[in-house]
Amino acid sequence: MAKRVLFALFTIAFGAFAGAFAWGFFFLMNTGIALLWEAAPNALAAQGLPAVFYPLVFCTVGGVVIGLFAKKFGPYPADMNTVMASVKQTGRYEYDHMGASFFGALLPLLFGGSIGPEAGMTGVIAGLCTWVGDRLRFVGAEMRELAEASCAAVIAAIFATPLFGLMVPAVGAADDSDGPRRISEVRLDVAKPLKIAVYVLAVAGALGAMALLGHWFGASGGLPRFSEIAFGASELAWALPLMAVGTAAGWLYFPAGAAARALATRLGDRPVAKAVMAGALLGAVGTALPFALFAGEAQTEQLALIWTTVSAGMLLATGFAKVIVTQFCLNLGWRGGHFFPLIFAGIALGYGLATLTGIDPVFALCAVTGALMGAVMRQPLMTAVLLFLVFPLAGAPVLLVAAALGSLVPVPHRWLGK
């Protein structure tokens, strides 16, 4: 009994650390972005120097830095599914490259990469959990559950969705630039009720730490949440066309990935050349479409305030461009995840279509984003659970139908990179 209580306390502590780590990572990322993307261009403008091509120059320089980093330290961080697959299969994740995983995840985000932060954070937390487990032998066979629970905790903290954090380690989340895949199930060594309890304790610790740090120092990271949605005759009439556009954008993710992998293969074992190519493309697109840069958290909040002042064409171009740019970043060495940028792509498309149709914007966002993410993730229920971090629960029917329709669109096997 005492061992179980002690293990529960360790689980809560690890969960809290995972939440604090996620908050700190977002804080560093946002502080660095503010310095590099706001203060620096403003200083240039004050000196009378043009800042219009700043994205092109800075993203290309970022490609050089990221490429040199990869050349020296290797391809870190690993993607989220790779980390969790290792944990599920072996009960551990090797921790000899935690520093490389941390900085490898942070650098692309600082240079404006259209990628998400989840890959690096998951690897660092799993590695740290394994490191502690190697020094606390009394934890024994339950170390596997603690490592998995820590992954669940950091995922819940990143996405601010407890249910998604609990579900991802169990079923996988297609967090792979090569296309949808699931983590293979392995036999567990502890009873299912204990496993559920461990997950819940870890996620509660993570979200509690995030909430406390946000209360004391201000919120750090995460997508904003839309609180209201309207259903009417106009919205229902436009539902299927909206979902069709979102599905098309999600489908585009796969040929874009195939093209990016073909370019990566052509460039061969030249990490600097690959990263510079991705940076130049990202910077060129970002010069014309500024919202195509970054993961999308802060940009979603900004767009929610100004979307009525942006043309529908610009919004639609941003959404489709972001889907393509994300794949080129991921496959040419700007390592990270795809969840945040693709959610933002759906939001940009939804606002563009709301401008054209005049319907409720949140309904449009739900329909388009649900279909886009459903087409990419191929798991409608997981898609809906993930998108609850952004959209109200009242939008659940729209999200589920859109995700289901998106997941039905076939994707040629040659585009999946298997």
Which domains does the chain carry? 2-217 (1.10.3080.10), 233-415 (1.10.3080.10)
Nearest Cα residue to 385 out of 198, 171, 237, 210: 171
pTM for the model stands at: 0.88
- The pLDDT tens digits of the residues spanning 88-136 come to 777 778 878 888 888 999 999 999 999 988 777 788 877 877 777 666 6
- The pLDDT tens digits of the residues spanning 1-28 come to 666 677 777 778 878 888 888 888 888 9
Q: Coil, helix or strand for 411? A: coil
Q: Band the pLDDT of 79: cuts 50, 70, 90.
A: confident
**Exposure of 320 by Cβ count < 10 A (0-12 exposed, 13-18 middle, 19+ buried)?**
buried
Q: Band the pLDDT of 50: cuts 50, 70, 90.
A: confident
CA–CA gap between residue 173 and residue 153 (Å, rounded): 15
CA–CA gap between residue 52 and residue 74 (Å, rounded): 33
Report the mean per-residue pLDDT for the chain: 84
Q: What is the DSSP string of 307-318?
A: GGGS-HHHHHHH
Residue 160: per-residue pLDDT: 67
